[in-house]
A and B are shown apart, each in its own frame.
Chain A
Amino acid sequence: MAAVFGAFVLGFSSILTGLNFIVTMHRMRAPGMTFFKMPLFPWALYATAWIQVLATPIVGITLLMIIAERWLRIGFFDPSLGGDPILYQHLFWIYSHPAVYIMILPAMGVITEIIPTFSQRRIFGYKAIAISSLAIALVGYFVWAHHMYTSGMSTTARWIFSLLTFLVAVPSAIKVFNWVSTMYKGSIQMAPPFLFAVGFIFLFMIGGMTGLSLGALATNIHVHDTAYVVAHFHYIVFGGVGFAFFAAVYYWYPKMFGRMYNFKMANWSFVFLFAGFNLLYFPQFVIGIMGMPRRYFDYLPQFTFGHQLSFFGALLLVIGIVIMLITLASKKGAKAPDNPWGGRTFEWQIPSPPPVENFEVMPELKENEGPYDYK
């Protein structure tokens, strides 16, 4: 019960962060920066913030109900008291599905910053990306029950949620198209952050496509609770969020610490991470379809090869992470210039690392300037 209450209090941090971001973006933008001149990373955070504000209270009240059930025997979810466990699943997923968008949206925002900077090209379809962030947040709020196809839900509810799940793929795909189109005819600089960003697009696409096959009712019943789901989830949350996080660290590291890092080492960390990741999780798609259930440490003999591949992949992955940590931990790199990548957003116009108060004078966006105007 203490743990449940702890989770409830943790919800406040999520809510207050979201609240802070929304109010800040509405009230404290730099002069001249309209909403549609805002860089796309804050746009993604804006959408995320709304999910945090609107989804977290639902899990909050659910946790309170669990506390009441254990403490006061107010059993809203306890069948022996007339409650309904499926209702708990609904309430849980009403929060917990949007929660995965809380993770992926900022990751998409990071990629949207990195791709144009390293292609030295204006982002393709600025407004489409901005609006698609909001669309993902909105539609993503209404797809929760695709986790519950096998729970005994009504057939109508199942096809409605399946349809909505397909809909949420549309804005995600729009983003992918725009990233790829941004690179077209750009002068691409193959630095580590860009490598990770491209890795993200590849892995996110596999994760997204398999997400569609999971969102389809018939296939879902077949692969429900198998390693296929595990593989899909990791392609999105590790291949997507994880790689975007690594990309972000490599991108903003010079700004944060005022030092460059060893590019060769960073590239090697990417090679190991990317190869290891695919070797670890791709076989799980295959054995998942073959019928390997998730959440078991043991398996039938026909799944042995897949598990062995996964094991070697995991080793490579760990090596990649260790190389990355060593690269980032050594502070022996050259002193970082203010703007090592030629970025156009405000943070690259101040010294690295940023001084206290960040800006000497209030930065201003001129009349016909945008966040991605590269030469």
Chain B
Amino acid sequence: MEHRDDIGAKLGMWIFIFTEILLFGGLFLVYAIMRNRYSVEFHQCAHHLNAFIGTVNTIALLVSSASVAMSITAVQKGDKKTAVILLFVTLLCAAVFMVNKYFEWGHKFSIGLYPGSQLMLTLNHGSIMFFSLYFFMTGLHMFHLIVGGIILTIVAIKVQRGAVNAGSYVLLENGGLYWHLVDLIWIFLFPLLYLIT
């Protein structure tokens, strides 16, 4: 019999998640120090972010997280069809998030606000830091979202083919954990960037 250790696999995934938390943790540390130094500018710049889009994205991510969690329940019950549909809902929410982000970033780019742009370099130091942090943090988060999306697509295919089933679903659990991590980071990014007006 092949050696299989689901708890071990999950433990490994959790430890990987710790490294991700600390990766973003370093960024939040930079944020804390810069915000402390330039609190007035951060305050003003946050007005330029669209809190409505941010809220929609938050809700999209929360729904996607819930549907991943539910898909685990579905797989445990052996309900393949529901599981795949739920994973599809998750990916759909991720797509909504990405489209929103595209418009959000696209708008900023169109008015010439992007890292290293002429406009950016004319701003005061606090504003440069705010928008640098904004682009860097949401950018890195978006990268994780895309990776998570790819992972969940692969998992969804495996669920469809029956490779992930009621007897062996640790892959889905780990993929879900990664997705929740993406959600977790956004839970902190959203108020710190959009809601400090």
Binding site for B on A (CB under 8 A): 15, 18-20, 22-23, 26-28, 53-54, 56-58, 60-62, 64-65, 68, 72-76, 81-84, 87, 91, 94
- Can you give 8 A-B contacts (C-beta < 8 A)? A53-B18, A58-B23, A68-B136, A73-B116, A74-B115, A74-B135, A84-B34, A94-B26
Task: Report whether B115 and A72 are in contact in the complex, using a CB–CB cutoff of 8 Å.
Answer: yes
Query: B140 to nearest A CB, angstroms?
Result: 7
Interface secondary structure of A, over-half rule: helix
CB-CB under 8 A from A27, the residues of chain B are 5, 7-8, 11
CB-CB under 8 A from B27, the residues of chain A are 61, 65
Given A57-B23, A58-B25, A58-B26: A76 in contact with B15 (beta carbons within 8 A) = no
Query: A373 to nearest B CB, angstroms?
Result: 29
Task: Report whether A19 and B12 are in contact in the complex, using a CB–CB cutoff of 8 Å.
Answer: yes
CA A20 to CA B11, docked complex, whole Å: 10
Contacting A at CB under 8 A, from B11-32, are 11-12, 15-16, 18-20, 22-27, 29-30
CA A68 to CA B128, docked complex, whole Å: 14
CA A74 to CA B30, docked complex, whole Å: 12
Given A54-B18, A87-B30, A87-B33: A23 in contact with B140 (beta carbons within 8 A) = no
CB-CB under 8 A from B38, the residues of chain A are 82
Task: Report whether A57 and B30 are in contact in the complex, using a CB–CB cutoff of 8 Å.
Answer: no
CA A22 to CA B19, docked complex, whole Å: 13
The 9 tightest CB contacts between A and B, nearest first, are A82-B125, A61-B26, A73-B116, A27-B8, A57-B22, A72-B115, A57-B23, A74-B132, A57-B19
Task: Report whether A64 and B140 are in contact in the complex, using a CB–CB cutoff of 8 Å.
Answer: yes
CB-CB under 8 A from B12, the residues of chain A are 19-20, 23
CB-CB under 8 A from B33, the residues of chain A are 84, 87
Task: Report whether A73 and B15 are in contact in the complex, using a CB–CB cutoff of 8 Å.
Answer: no
CB-CB under 8 A from A87, the residues of chain B are 30, 33
CB-CB under 8 A from B135, the residues of chain A are 72, 74
Task: Report whether B11 and A82 are in contact in the complex, using a CB–CB cutoff of 8 Å.
Answer: no
Task: Report whether B116 and A72 are in contact in the complex, using a CB–CB cutoff of 8 Å.
Answer: yes
CA A57 to CA B19, docked complex, whole Å: 6
CB-CB under 8 A from B129, the residues of chain A are 76, 81-83
Query: A356 to nearest B CB, angstroms?
Result: 17
Given A82-B38, A82-B128: A23 in contact with B15 (beta carbons within 8 A) = yes
CA A15 to CA B115, docked complex, whole Å: 30
CB-CB under 8 A from A72, the residues of chain B are 115-116, 135
CB-CB under 8 A from B132, the residues of chain A are 68, 74-76, 81
Query: B80 to nearest A CB, angstroms?
Result: 29
CB-CB under 8 A from A74, the residues of chain B are 115-116, 132, 135-136
B126 contacts A by Cβ under 8 Å: yes
Residue of B nearest to A16 (CB): B16
Give 1 or 0 for each of B82-126: 1 = CB within 8 Å of chain A CB: 000000000000000000000000000000000110001100111
Contact for B19 among A56, A65, A75, A83, CB less than 8 A? A56
CB-CB under 8 A from B19, the residues of chain A are 15, 19, 53-54, 56-57, 60
CA A84 to CA B30, docked complex, whole Å: 9
Task: Report whether B126 and A82 are in contact in the complex, using a CB–CB cutoff of 8 Å.
Answer: yes
Query: A81 to nearest B CB, angstroms?
Result: 5
Query: B136 to nearest A CB, angstroms?
Result: 5
CA A238 to CA B3, docked complex, whole Å: 41
CA A15 to CA B19, docked complex, whole Å: 8
CA A57 to CA B126, docked complex, whole Å: 26
Query: B186 to nearest A CB, angstroms?
Result: 17
Task: Report whether B128 and A61 are in contact in the complex, using a CB–CB cutoff of 8 Å.
Answer: no
CB-CB under 8 A from B20, the residues of chain A are 57
CA A65 to CA B135, docked complex, whole Å: 12
CA A81 to CA B124, docked complex, whole Å: 8
CA A333 to CA B124, docked complex, whole Å: 72
